[in-house]
Amino acid sequence: MKRCLVVLLSWMYVCSLPVTAFAAEYLYITEDTQARRFSDTETPVSGEVGAGARVEVVYRLDSWIRVRLPGMAGFGWVPADKTTTEAPENAGEGSEPPPPGAGTLTPEQRKQLEDALKNLGR
């Protein structure tokens, strides 16, 4: 009985904690552009972002915006003047869907992966 009371009180405490809500800001790319690793045109390219692509804003500087790259597990800096808050008519056409079979392993690749994982477990 005492244990149930402790669990109940603990649950009530956890449920009473405030929940932090996060809001994301999104922008649209106005023309095909290269996302850079840093906020400078002389730095390496992180990826390509097509016109109309919707990107999530991560950080802002005066003339550069750090964004989450659509369809990729990465980030990049794009010039602020190549973004807009209004969705263009071609929104979402900036990236093509993956080809059939993308992300699947061939039997040979699967065998290599399984062997590598077995070797890690030793």
Q: What is the 3-state secondary structure (H, E, C) of the chain?
A: CHHHHHHHHHHHHHHHCCCCCCCCEEEEECCCEEEECCCCCCCCEEEEECCCCEEEEEEECCCEEEEECCCCCCEEEEEHHHEECCCCCCCCCCCCCCCCCCCCCCHHHHHHHHHHHHHHCC
- Nearest-angstrom CA–CA distance, 81 and 31: 10
pLDDT bucket at 21, cuts 50 / 70 / 90: low
**In the predicted model, is pLDDT for residue 96 greater than 60?**
no
Domains of the chain, each with CATH number or no CATH? 27-91 (2.30.30.40)
The arithmetic mean of pLDDT across residues 61-87, rounded, is 90
pLDDT at 106: 72
> What confidence score (pLDDT) does residue 69 get?
86
83 vs 24, higher pLDDT: 83
